[in-house]
Amino acid sequence: MLMIQDIIAKAEKESRLTPDEIFELMSITDKGELEELYAAARRVRDREFGKKIFTYGFVYFSTYCKNNCTFCYYRTSNTGIDRYRKSKEEIVQLSASLQDAGINLSDLTMGEDPQMYKDGYKNLLDIISAVHDEVGINIMASPGALPQEMFSKVRDAGADWYACYQETYNRGLFESLRLNQSYDDRRNQKIWAMEAGLLAEDGMMIGLGESVRDRAETIAEMSSLGCAQVRAMTFVPQVGTPMQDFTPYDSTEELKAIAIMRLLNQDKLIPCSLDVEGIAGLRTRINAGANLVTSIVPPSQHLAGVAQHELDIENGNRSVEHVFEMLEDMGHHHASSAEYRSFLNAHRPKRVA
Ligand code: SAM
Ligand code: MD0
Ligand code: SF4
């Protein structure tokens, strides 16, 4: 059997590992070996991308949702929480201010809000086209699962990306988390999006009750689906949900996942989300090989995060200025919109649907 050092060297060189080898890396506990893993991930990232880091603003424009995911604060059964829905004009204005501040993309995210879904998803499509036509910033749509015929419409409206996270590729676990949702349908979302010429993002959550083997298999599946962006986020337990008493994980498993995903997806985007540990989590994730900061949220706009609906938002720590400063401090710099667009052009799937 290969030693940890050999597995890391193989991944760095060939960008490929078996699920068993991923399992070995996900099982590392030794501090020295972890450091070797992160160092290899940084070498690969810096070779592919230099010192530039991409940045996404997070516009969670409707926190209404008809679904009942057991891990999510915004699940429909969590009644009595503060919810909001932004108008098209507000969403355009928020996206314009992100664009002016030098952010590469506006991530237009919502719960599965029936208001947005009605009349053939008219409101959702109108919002995407308004941001595209009036602002011109790059757009990620994170609207939840859609019927197959919607993807070409989302692309035509002006979205560059479609994001939809499987959370886990353990089918049984998926079904216990995403209640009354289809595993196969959610997996297909990414494929349908790419067929319609959209870039796609997949993601996993850590700390939901999955085994180390599940994590390894999820990383293997995500890395072979063809998505240009893959993420890992540590589960943050939410009050008022069935999982509120879960013991939260620290970030170690997420950092390992980020580093392994980097070795297997060398020229892809891998986020450092500020939505898990706030700004305190930036440095460790960049050091594990992330090349994109997501969930930048401007203060004073009454906007929420998903996993951390308040942390570091109103104090300005998730603001553009603060994130840019921290990146400079670490010897990186935020990418320009021209640099970001050249990534998109190089990775955009050919439209076949
Ligand atoms: N409603 C859409 C959907 O579910 O695809 C889009 C937004 S959803 C709120 C975005 C993602 O946030 C989920 O897929 C999940 O990966 C992550 N998330 C939600 N609740 C979380 C939590 N408590 N801790 C960590 N991540 C969470
Ligand atoms: C993030 N809170 O980037 C956002 C969200 C949705 N496309 C992304 C999970 O962390
Ligand atoms: Fe709704 Fe998305 Fe939360 Fe599930 S994760 S309850 S679909 S907002």
Distance CA 292, CA 270 (A): 6
pTM here is 0.98
pLDDT at residue 307 tops 90: yes
Nearest ligand, CA of residue 116? 1
Q: Whose CA is nearest to atom 3 of ligand 3?
A: 72
Distance CA 123, CA 138 (A): 19
Distance CA 34, CA 169 (A): 24
User: What's residue 353's pLDDT?
Assistant: 83
pLDDT at residue 90 tops 80: yes
User: What's residue 279's pLDDT?
Assistant: 97
| 167 touches ligand 2 (CB under 6 Å) | no
Probe ligand 3: pick from 66, 69, 275, max atoms within 8 Å of CB?
A: 69
Secondary-structure percent of the chain, ordered helix, strand, coil, rounded to 5: 45, 15, 40
Q: What is the DSSP string of 141-173?
A: EE-----TTHHHHHHHHT-SEEE---B-S-HHH
Q: What are phi and psi of 216, to 5 degrees?
A: -65, -45
Share of the chain above pLDDT 70, in %: 100
| 144 touches ligand 3 (CB under 6 Å) | yes
Q: Report the atom number in ligand 2 closest to the C-alpha of 274.
A: 10
Quote the ligand 3 centre to 5 CA distance (angstroms).
Answer: 39
Cβ atoms of residues 270 and 229 within 8 Å: yes
Quote the ligand 3 centre to 340 CA distance (angstroms).
Answer: 28
Distance CA 69, CA 65 (A): 10
Cβ-Cβ contacts under 8 Å for 278 (sequence gap 6 or more): 308, 311, 312, 317, 318
pLDDT at residue 222 tops 90: yes
Q: What are phi and psi of 271, to 5 degrees?
A: -75, 150
Q: Report the atom number in ligand 1 closest to the C-alpha of 163.
A: 5
Q: Whose CA is nearest to atom 25 of ligand 1?
A: 235
Q: What are phi and psi of 150, to 5 degrees?
A: -75, -20
pLDDT at residue 2 tops 90: no
Q: What is the pLDDT of residues 256-278, one digit of tens each?
A: 999 999 999 999 999 999 999 99
Q: What are phi and psi of 206, to 5 degrees?
A: -120, 135
Task: Assign 294 a pLDDT band (cuts: 50, 70, 90).
Answer: very high
pLDDT at residue 318 tops 80: yes
